[in-house]
């Protein structure tokens, strides 16, 4: 008999684990019929793609293997927040990585264990918004002061949700999309938190409601990329929408070449980099970079470790890609891999739109 390993009271985790078992049964049936599911993405690069841009280096592994984390960079360090640990337990752990010493440090845990949460940095503080708890989706907002190594609660988000994205722009935190739980309601919501007044404001919703997406900010615009429907990785999306805060409006942009979800995003040199993801056939090692100036994508050197539910954060000219599940569903890893993009080249794929 196979145990689902659910956390008591966590109906969303239990539902997700049971769904993953159903997917496993389907794959066993495929194998019996001669099919062979892939362990990593088998997507093909479109004509003109350059899958050899940039280099990867292994770094000190995360002390606490996990997935479905949030990750941000602050003060030259990468903070990995919350997530799911082995056994599918929800954690409040916070660990900080110093690229200079290639070492990790334990920090004060979150006030509440969270997975599928999102985080952004404003004014030298980390703001964690939403996420899933042992009892369902949350509205909680917590502020972390790295100097004091302390957390404090702030005004709750209007819409309770997890598997959302967060971005910082002009001193405010933008909470984007999300879902009410596995198989639940998707949100197109865009809600904006102002730390100066400790208040929230509702803005124009995205055109495509989705969860497990990534977001990045380039030249005063927010890009919401990828994702899925109702937390089902069989419904991966290629959506790429640009939000203009001056006009409070969204515009569809060149789609993500490899539709995927459970991804991580990071910005470097005015480009949004998208890492990893999952699908019924396996996890993705794809790395694709979006250039808003040309509205085009470029495929880069794949990740050494394909995974989903990972985090990514930029320090200097390097993006650190941490944690994540190595196979679809409730898996985890201690991976910490450093990506250094090559200088922008002329090649891209997909015509500018």
Cα 285 → chain centroid: 14
Q: Which residues of 230-264 are buried (b: 16+ CB within 10 A; e: fewer)?
A: bbbbeebbebbbbbebeeeebeebbbbbbbbbbbb
Nearest to 164 by CA among 187, 136, 143, 196: 187
Nearest to 334 by CA among 64, 56, 51: 64
- Asked if pLDDT for residue 338 goes beyond 90, the answer is yes
Cite the DSSP H helix spans in 171-323: none
pLDDT digits (tens, 9 = 90+) for 258-302: 999 999 999 999 999 999 999 999 999 999 999 999 999 999 999
Average pLDDT, integer, range 204-223: 98
User: How far is 272 from 322, CA to CA, in rounded Å?
Assistant: 17
Element (H, E) at 15: helix 11-32
Q: pTM here?
A: 0.86
What pLDDT score does 182 carry?
86
In contact, 247 and 222? CB cutoff 8 Å = no
Q: Among 45-59, 125-139, 303-317, which stretch is predicted with the lowest mean pLDDT? A: 45-59
Average pLDDT, integer, range 198-203: 98
What pLDDT score does 51 carry?
57
In contact, 184 and 230? CB cutoff 8 Å = yes
User: How far is 80 from 73, CA to CA, in rounded Å?
Assistant: 9
In contact, 209 and 224? CB cutoff 8 Å = no
pLDDT digits (tens, 9 = 90+) for 293-303: 999 999 999 99
Calculate the average pLDDT of the chain: 87
The CB density around residue 108, as the number of other CB atoms within 10 Å, is 13
Domains of the chain: 11-43+55-340 (2.120.10.80)
Average pLDDT, integer, range 101-115: 98
Structure letter (DSSP) for residue 325: B
pLDDT digits (tens, 9 = 90+) for 136-186: 999 999 999 999 999 999 999 999 999 999 999 999 999 999 999 888 999
User: How far is 250 from 264, CA to CA, in rounded Å?
Assistant: 21
Stronger pLDDT, 231 or 12, i.e. the higher one: 231
Estimate the share of the chain in helix, then strand, then coil, as percent rounded to the nearest 5: 5, 40, 50
- Asked if pLDDT for residue 1 goes beyond 70, the answer is no
């Amino acid at each position: 008999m196979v145990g689902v390993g659910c956390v008591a009271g966590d109906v969303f985790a239990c539902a997700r684990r049971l769904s993953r078992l159903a997917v496993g049964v389907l794959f066993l049936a495929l194998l019996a019929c001669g099919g062979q599911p892939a362990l990593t993405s088998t997507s093909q690069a479109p004509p003109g793609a350059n899958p050899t841009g940039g280099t990867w280096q292994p770094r000190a592994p995360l002390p606490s293997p996990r997935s479905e984390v949030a990750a941000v960079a602050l003060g030259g360090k990468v903070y990995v927040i919350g997530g799911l640990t082995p056994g599918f337990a929800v954690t409040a752990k916070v660990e900080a990585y110093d690229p200079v010493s290639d070492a990790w440090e334990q920090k004060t845990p979150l006030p509440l264990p969270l997975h599928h949460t999102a985080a952004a940095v404003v004014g030298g503080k980390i703001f964690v918004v939403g996420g899933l708890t042992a009892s369902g989706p949350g509205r909680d907002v917590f502020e972390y002061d790295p100097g004091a190594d302390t957390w404090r609660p702030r005004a709750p988000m209007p819409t309770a949700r997890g598997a959302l994205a967060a971005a910082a722009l002009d001193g405010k935190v933008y909470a984007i999309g999300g879902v009410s739980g596995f198989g639940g309601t998707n949100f197109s919501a865009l809600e904006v938190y102002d730390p100066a007044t400790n208040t929230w404001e509702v803005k124009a919703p995205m055109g495509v409601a989705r969860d497990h997406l990534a977001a990045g900010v380039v030249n005063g615009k927010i890009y919401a990329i990828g994702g899925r429907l109702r937390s089902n990785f069989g419904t991966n999306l290629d959506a790429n929408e640009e939000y203009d805060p001056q006009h409070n409006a969204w515009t569809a942009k060149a789609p993500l070449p490899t539709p995927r979800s459970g991804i991580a995003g990071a910005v470097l040199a005015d480009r949004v980099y998208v890492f990893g993801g999952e699908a019924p056939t396996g996890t993705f090692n794809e790395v694709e970079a979006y250039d808003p100036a040309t509205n085009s994508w470029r495929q880069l050197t794949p990740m050494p470790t394909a995974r989903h539910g990972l985090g990514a954060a930029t320090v200097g000219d390097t993006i650190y890609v941490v944690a994540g599940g190595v196979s679809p569903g409730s898996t985890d890893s201690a991976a910490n891999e450093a990506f250094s993009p090559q200088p922008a080249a002329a090649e891209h794929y997909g015509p500018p739109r």
